[in-house]
Every structure is written in structure tokens, then in C-alpha cells.
Structure 1
């Protein structure tokens, strides 16, 4: 593990993001808060539509129309990203905060060579001359494990395999040695062998340059490989967060229990079935009055349907947004 210090690189406070559509306001991110220290890796986990990617787009200032940040703050090294102009955002985007997007084929421009696309970022954010930029691109390709870099920088995205395109995206994101790397499901479309190589590469790079990483995924197996702590998202809320050990060995929210039950286990019996989470995600145009997970929760109580649960401290740096945790605390106090 890379050493981390106690100072926060990033502090997200009560962030709210909505999409204003013809059908109504889609409340995609609903008051989420977290801190990230230098050199720390945080996983954000949840189903599709839980708000994982949208919250990360906010960190880059690239929320697509008709989306808009409607509340909260994103403080990066003492500067609030939500209050920055587009000109100020361009200065930090790609230089101090970089992102690896989910699908490299649609993220890379098919009409430019991959070398040219990385060179653009170096031209914009560094004072390197043409020869120095070429040396830097070759160095990056070697760093991410692309063979024959002198030849490969002259090739186009379609000449690379899926795994190699993802490595190009990582090289592009690392070009200016960012302090924060956002990896949005970077291994989802890859086979398990390439997935393992990409994860190993990110771990190595994190240790080499003490870079903080936000790793967005729906795969808890991937999270256990690379992250220090985890935030579990559901319906635009962080419903549980804690260390890797907290989430895997002492989870407190029924949704987290469901996610863990749906992960294949290597020591499972041959005919043991995975247990899916019943039901469908809630409508974020009209989110429920109480707990968003209540309609799908087998532990649902009457209060869950009418009142949103408070944030409950269930351990050191371990929080859950669940009435069950509140009930458990009451029962502990009553038994004393």
C-alpha cells in the first residue's frame, strides 16, 4: 500500500446533481459526502443508474446536458470545483484530475493517431517541446505495458485490441501526472486476464506516484483487489461506506448484503445458485419518501416507508444509512 497522509485531497459535501428532462427532474445524485486523502484508493459501488458515474463527472465539471449541479461543494485542494469557470476547469482537467472512461473505443477519436491524442494533453498542460513530448508518450506506453511504443504511437485506435485501447486511455490519463485519477468501470468490457493486468498496473502506478484513485464499478471482486475504502451507492445516495474489511466482513446495510450474496464464490458448491436482489431500482423522478431501498428490502419496517434513515455510525469510519442500524443501537442501549 502506498503511504497516505491525513490531509484531504478531495472533499465532497452534500453534492446534488439533477437532470431536467421533459418528464421531470431526475434526482441522479442526492446529497452525497466523502473525503479522499492523498494516495488513497476509494471504490464507489452500485447498480447501473445508482449515480456513480454522474457524481464523478461532477468532479471533472463535465456533467452532460440537461444535467446540473444544484447543491453542495466539491473541494479539490482547497478550491471548490462547482464554483469554477470553464476556463479554470480546463486548467485542472487532464492535468490535476484525470479520468479513464468506461468505453475506450468511443472515448478515443478514430481519425487521429493515439500518439497525437496524448500529445494534445501534453501541449495544453506542459511546456515540453515536440521531441520531449514524443519521449514522454513513449515513456507512458512503456509504463502501461504497450510493446513497440515507437511504432504504436503512430497507429489509430482501431488497430488496437480492447485491452490495449484501455491501456492507451490510462496512458492518456496519466500523461500529466494527475493527483487524482477517476477510473469509471475501466475493466468492465475486458476479459478476466486483461482485467487482472489493468488492476495490477493501477496498483503499481498508485504506489509509484502516490496518486489518489476513485474506482467506479459494480463488481465487488474488483473493489477488494485495489481499494482502501468503499462507498456503496443506491438511488443517488451513499447508503454505506467504510474500509474494505468493514464492507466485506461486517456490512450493515441490506443492499450491501444483497451485493455480496450476488458475487460468485470460488469455494461455492457446484450447484449453489447466486441470490439476486429482487425488484427494480426506484424512479428518481419521484424518489420514495422514506428509504429508497425499502420496496426491495426483506427487512423493511413501517418507518422505512415514510422517513429517510439518518446516517448511523456503526464503527470507526463506518457509516450506514439504515433504520436497522438505528434499531440495533436502541436495543444495545436498552439492554445496558
Structure 2
């Protein structure tokens, strides 16, 4: 695929979970594009819809969840319209995912080698010796020593960081065009976290794959992402380049996220500033801005009407009434 063409196009995606309590509107009309070799970060609090939106790319939204609107185009093909048979052909081959918890994602009853080999058997024509060679290459690539010995071991014999590296090796086994990394550095110490981020950057450049990087840690996305989408209550409230989000944020929710991140140059007794209040109820989301109940800059229009996506810079969008108000004041 040419670099100027989009690898992924998400258009007005809507995902709901139909529970006994009611319809949980987990993703409410998000749109974004991703080019080959680009890393896009999706950040936000737990429950904002980050992981659910990305599960749609793999066609693995769990029951009782369902895509109720929009499209997910991968290389021009609509993933939401594919049959299970068609999805099985691209899962693990063209699109791979590093799941959030490697201990629950790895099967404790099978060796590491058996689990990595599964996708190679399914998606490649390699014979047994070639598959063995490829598995050794993968473990070496992700920085695991004595790979021949490690392939015969079970997940409980690995540390948390090594299990995460195994998950990365499994995801990269067939050189995917798109990698979805769902909080791949959660619960890892900062040294291992830095090693995994460096590894992903190297692999992205080596095989030129697109990466959707899901996290709640803004410190992580600043290091690896080209662009960032900030999600809140199932919507994208701000999107732009990494520099724009960090140095020119325009949405109050983004301001709150940045203010809650520890900084090296602050006084040791200075407290972090949390975002007050609780996330909205997605069974009955508000008709106006979802962040309005927690926003210090809330206006009457914020409660009554959902804000439009406003362009606040080149390639920089924010769903907020404040830029609209500022633009009108400048015109006057």
C-alpha cells in the first residue's frame, strides 16, 4: 500500500452493549485515519471506549456488544461487513493485537513455542524447521535470551516483562500491516516499559507497520506517537499531532489529563491536580457535551447542545464550545 493512502479509516463508528440495565453506548460516533508506518495514540480514562473501538478493527467485540453504525475500513475493505471466515484470514496475519494482560492472554497449559507457532501454521506455508527458525528469530528480536530453551517453557516460568515480550513476538509473527497495542506497558516497571517502547519504535521502522497505541499514560504516548486522539465518554474530544496535544491543547479534558501528570520540575510538596467528578453514565449520556458536568469552563450551551468538531489548528480538532466562542469574539 502507498504511504499516501490510509491503512485504516474509521468512519462515525458506534458500538453499544445491550445489557439487562439498558443499552450502554460505549462508542458514540468516532472517526480517524491511520497511514502505513504511523503511530496513533488513543488516550483517556478507563471506560472511555478506547479498547472497545479497537476491538472493532479485529472484529472481536465481545457479547453483548455490537457495532450499530459506521464503518471500519482496512485497506479499503469494510471490516464490519466481513464474515467470520474472512476475519479469520486477516486476524494474526494482516492485523495483530497485543492484549492488555499477558498472563490472562497466554494459555497456561501450552508452551510459549506452541502458542507462537499457531499463527505461523495457520497463515504461512513454512514447514516445521522453518517455523522453528522463525520463532527463534522472533524471541531474539524482542530481546529474550536463550530462545531455543524458552520456546519449551510455560508462561508461569516468565516474568511480567518477558510475558509481554512474548505477546509482542506472537503479534509480530506474520509481519502484520497493523498492530493494535492495548496498554502494552501497564504494570511494568519503567525500565522494561522504556525497552518495550524502544522495541516497538524499531519494529515499526523495520517492517513499516501502522500502530494503534491505547493507553491512559500520557508519558508513554509522548515518546512513541505521531498523532493522538483523546477519548472521553465514547467520543473523540480532541485530536492532533503529538506536539499539538502536549503544547497547544484546546479541550478542558485534555488540560485536566495533562495537569494530573507528575512533572520533574515541580516542587516536591506540590499536589497533583485531579479531574473532579465522575465519568458520565453511558446508558443515559447527556445531550450536551459529555464533559460539561466536570468542566470548570462549562457554559449554558455546553449542557444543551453537543459541541461540533472545530478545527483549532492544521490537522488539530477539538469538540468544544470554547474555540467557537473565541472565534466569534475575534470576529466581533
TM above 0.5, one fold? yes
Give the number of equivalent residue pairs: 331
Tell me what 1:156 maps to.
154
Tell me what 1:186 maps to.
184
| Cα deviation, residue 267, structure 1 | 1.1
Aligned counterparts, 1:1-336, within 5 A: 5-334=3-332
Distance 1:331 1:126 in 2: 60
| Cα deviation, residue 270, structure 1 | 1.1
| Cα deviation, residue 331, structure 1 | 1.2
TM-score by length of 1: 0.98
What SS does structure 1 have at the residue aligned with 2:311?
strand
| Cα deviation, residue 5, structure 1 | 2.4
Distance 1:293 1:228 in 2: 26
Distance 1:135 1:300 in 2: 59
> What's the CA shift string for 1:139-175, capped at 9, x where partnerless?
0000000000000000000000000000000000000
> What's the CA shift string for 1:212-255, capped at 9, x where partnerless?
10000000000000000000000000000000111000000000
Distance 2:219 2:68 in 1: 33
Distance 1:5 1:126 in 2: 25
In structure 1, stretches of 5+ residues that fail to align are none
Distance 1:60 1:242 in 2: 24
Distance 1:253 1:5 in 2: 30
In structure 2, stretches of 5+ residues that fail to align are none
What SS does structure 2 have at the residue aligned with 1:87?
helix
The two structures, once aligned, show a CA RMSD in angstroms of 0.7
Distance 1:309 1:69 in 2: 24
Moved over 4 A (4+): none
| Cα deviation, residue 6, structure 1 | 1.9
